[in-house]
């Protein structure tokens, strides 16, 4: 017991000293960060030059589902601070190839399908000349808004893939209904889907919750954790 006490005190003292000595890591210069973004994206665009090719994982999926949608979200953000013409053309041509549509058409409620809509809206906002760029994604989201179901986002990445679309349409239209539905969908995910998984984990781990407040099952029914690779994209799973 005495040895344990000594070890504990030594560890506390060491942590205290190291805490004083360790300084926060300095952020890289903005120029350096931009150069890294450009380098990584140039590699990606070269490797995946044909934006029409489907995604390959367990099966073949069209290139306008979430795996490509999340990439183009990032590319549009990069274009916002470094507007290279090839970034715009690569994004616009991808969207036009898919006719500004979703994998399962306008009646889909699936965030995997709707994710591309974030990019369609961003492209439209750059040059708002063709309402057809918005027609499909708006029809799909309006369908969700006008129906009572709120349990669509049962996997955690759905929040990232679909929720921003409601915010973008709300800002664009000035209509509160998009914000209201966004909150209803999110709160159901947090309070109902999330609580169900937390309850299961309390049982499995003797009352301990391994992450802070919310865990969502992924598509295979496992607790989300870690990450896995898929056709050139890293799929992150989250607990929050």
In the predicted structure, residue 218 carries a pLDDT above the cut 50:
no
CA 52 to chain centre: 22
- Give me the CATH topology for the region 29-192: Glycosyltransferase (1.50.10)
Give the CA radius of gyration of the chain. Answer: 22
Report percent pLDDT > 70 for the chain: 71
CB 34 within 8 A of CB 82: yes
The ranges assigned to domains in the chain are 29-192
Q: DSSP assignment of 1-25, as one string?
A: -HHHHHHHHHHHHHHHHHHHH--PP
Identify the band that residue 240 occupies on the pLDDT scale cut at 50, 70 and 90.
very low
CB 90 within 8 A of CB 108: no
Q: What digits encode the pLDDT tens for the residues 88-128?
A: 999 999 999 999 999 999 999 999 999 999 999 999 999 99
Q: Which residue has the higher pLDDT, 61 or 219?
A: 61
Residue with tokens 């992150």: 236
Q: What is the mean pLDDT of the chain?
A: 81
Instruction: Over range 23-52, report the average pLDDT.
Output: 93
Q: Tell me the C-alpha distance between 122 and 125, whole Å.
A: 5
Report percent pLDDT > 90 for the chain: 64
In the predicted structure, residue 5 carries a pLDDT above the cut 80:
no
Structure tokens at 12: 């506390």
In the predicted structure, residue 225 carries a pLDDT above the cut 90:
no
- Per DSSP, helices labelled H in the chain are 2-21, 30-47, 66-81, 85-97, 111-114, 116-126, 132-145, 157-173, 176-188, 194-204
Identify the band that residue 157 occupies on the pLDDT scale cut at 50, 70 and 90.
very high
Segment among 85-89, 108-112, 161-165, 204-208 with least mean pLDDT: 204-208
Identify the band that residue 194 occupies on the pLDDT scale cut at 50, 70 and 90.
confident
Show the CA angle centred on residue 22, arms to residues 19 and 23, nearest 5°.
120
């Amino acid at each position: 017991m005495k040895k344990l006490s000594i070890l504990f005190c030594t560890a506390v003292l060491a942590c205290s000293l190291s805490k004083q000595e360790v300084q926060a890591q300095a952020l890289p210069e903005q120029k350096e960060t931009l150069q890294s973004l450009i380098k990584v994206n140039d590699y990606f665009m070269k490797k995946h030059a044909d934006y029409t090719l489907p995604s390959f994982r367990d099966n073949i999926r069209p290139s306008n589902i979430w795996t490509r949608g999340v990439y183009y979200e990032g590319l549009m953000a990069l274009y916002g601070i470094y507007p290279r013409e090839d970034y715009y053309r690569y994004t616009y041509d991808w969207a036009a190839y898919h006719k500004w549509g979703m994998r399962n058409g306008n009646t889909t409620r699936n965030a995997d399908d709707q994710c591309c809509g974030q990019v369609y809206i961003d492209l439209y906002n750059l040059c708002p000349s063709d309402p057809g760029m918005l027609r499909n994604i708006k029809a799909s989201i309006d369908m969700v808004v006008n129906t009572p179901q709120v349990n669509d986002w049962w996997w955690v990445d759905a929040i990232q893939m679909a929720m921003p679309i409601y915010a973008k349409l709300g800002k664009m239209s000035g209509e509160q209904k998009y914000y209201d539905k966004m909150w209803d969908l999110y709160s159901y995910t947090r309070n109902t889907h999330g609580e169900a998984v937390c309850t299961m984990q309390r049982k499995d781990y003797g009352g301990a919750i391994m992450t802070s407040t919310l865990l969502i099952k992924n598509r295979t029914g496992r607790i989300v954790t870690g990450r896995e690779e898929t056709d050139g994209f890293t799929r992150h799973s989250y607990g929050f």
